[in-house]
Amino acid sequence: MKNPAGILPVQLRTQLSNYGKLMRLDKPIGIWLLLWPTLWALWLAGEGHPDQGLFVVFVLGVIVMRSAGCVLNDFADRKIDPYVERTRSRPIASGAVAPLEALTLFAALGLIAIGLATMLNRPAQLLAIAGAVLTIVYPFIKRWVSVPQFVLGAAFGLAVPMAFAAQTGDTPQLAWLVFGTALIWAIIYDTFYAMVDREDDRKIGVKSTALLFGELDLFVIAGLQVIMLVALVLIGLRAELGLWYYLSVAASACLMAYHQWLARDRTPAGCFAAFQRNHIIGLVVFVGIVLDYTFKPTLA
């Protein structure tokens, strides 16, 4: 008779895989969307030379907090996800992970985040607390307000002043300008995301900017894209960036036009493609910042 203990590793691997899916580690798009503005801030605050230790802490923090947010979001939506085509296969909705397991995993990730926060200075820690509160509030607020994307943007964007505070001990106007840019960007890409589930959300009573904007959705997104581009130019002026950076802003404008084209028919596939490709904007802007500081002429 075979030892039943030999089955345990397979079961364990399966459950760990389910936990990874619950944290969306198999779908890292959210990590990139949160990471790029954080890296913008670290490079701007450090004037091209961010502290290496802070770089590690913030990258790990992005992964942990995004994972924790996904776990809590799925716990909050456990009675909704089974009725939405795109989400019914998620671990909690499908029964692969029990709600209590999800809360335990969220608590564990929260403890890791607290450990990372202890490595930061006091101003950054205070901003981390505010970010944690918004992360906890967001999964539930979409039942009550029509602009949950604004709350998501604020939660994601607070990593920006945190990075400035950790790097310099201060949050100058540039920090809040970058924060505002990240917030606007989050509303843009998460509205594309909400457009995928618009009909399901309407049926089950979940609120979103996609429902709020209605037939004007692409027009409003276009307006937000213009505002974001203006904000990116203002960041360049405030930080005294040069040609490489402005080339990245121009490339971002082209990408935004492409995203509009992808979503032109408002099909779920097109809107989801526009959402998924938004992170490339963050990458392009980051590359522009890095190249600009790398090749910036120095006075002898």
- HSE-up of residue 255 (Cα within 13 Å, Cβ side): 24
Give the domain CATH number at 244. Answer: 1.10.357.140
6 assigned to some structural domain: no
Taking only the tens place, the pLDDT of each residue in 32-62 is 999 999 999 999 999 999 999 999 999 999 9
The whole-angstrom separation of Cα 103 and Cα 82 is 19
**Phi, psi for residue 74 in degrees, rounded to 5:** -70, -35
pLDDT at 300 (0 to 100): 42
pLDDT at 19 (0 to 100): 92
8 assigned to some structural domain: no
The whole-angstrom separation of Cα 130 and Cα 6 is 46
* DSSP state at residue 227: H
User: Length of the chain in residues, anyone?
Assistant: 300
**Phi, psi for residue 53 in degrees, rounded to 5:** -65, -40
What's CA 118's distance to the chain center, in Å?
22
Q: How many beta carbons lie within 10 A of that of residue 109, not counting itself?
A: 21
27: Cβ contacts below 8 Å, ≥ 6 apart: none
* DSSP state at residue 214: G
Q: How many beta carbons lie within 10 A of that of residue 40, not counting itself?
A: 25
44 assigned to some structural domain: yes
Residue keyed to tokens 């974001």: 228
The whole-angstrom separation of Cα 202 and Cα 214 is 11
The whole-angstrom separation of Cα 42 and Cα 256 is 24
- For residues 122-142, average pLDDT: 90
**Residues 109 and 71: beta-carbon distance below 8 Å:** yes
109 assigned to some structural domain: yes
Vertex 279: Cα angle to 78 and 134 (nearest 5) = 45
pLDDT at 173 (0 to 100): 96
pLDDT at 76 (0 to 100): 87
Return the amino acid letter for 286: F
Residue keyed to tokens 């945190």: 162
203 assigned to some structural domain: yes
On the question of pLDDT at 8 being above 60, the answer is: no
* DSSP state at residue 7: G
Categorize the per-residue pLDDT at 206 as very low, low, confident or very high, splitting at 50, 70 and 90. confident
Q: Whole-model pTM above 0.85?
A: yes
On the question of pLDDT at 65 being above 70, the answer is: yes
**Phi, psi for residue 26 in degrees, rounded to 5:** -85, -5
* DSSP state at residue 84: S
Please tell me the total count of domains within the chain.
Answer: 1
Specify the higher pLDDT residue, 85 or 262.
262
On the question of pLDDT at 3 being above 70, the answer is: no
Structural domain span for residue 199: 18-294
Q: Got the DSSP string for 129-195? A: HHHHHHHHHHHHHTTT-S-HHHHHHHHHHTHHHHHHHHHHS---HHHHHHHHHHHHHHHHHHHHHHH
- For residues 70-96, average pLDDT: 85
| Distances, alpha carbon 104 to alpha carbons 9, 28, 90, 92, 275, in Å | 21, 22, 17, 13, 30
1 assigned to some structural domain: no
- For 218, the token pair is 């692409």
148 assigned to some structural domain: yes
**Residues 64 and 116: beta-carbon distance below 8 Å:** yes
**Residues 117 and 62: beta-carbon distance below 8 Å:** no
Return the amino acid letter for 44: L
266: Cβ contacts below 8 Å, ≥ 6 apart: 195, 217, 218
42 assigned to some structural domain: yes
**Residues 292 and 244: beta-carbon distance below 8 Å:** yes
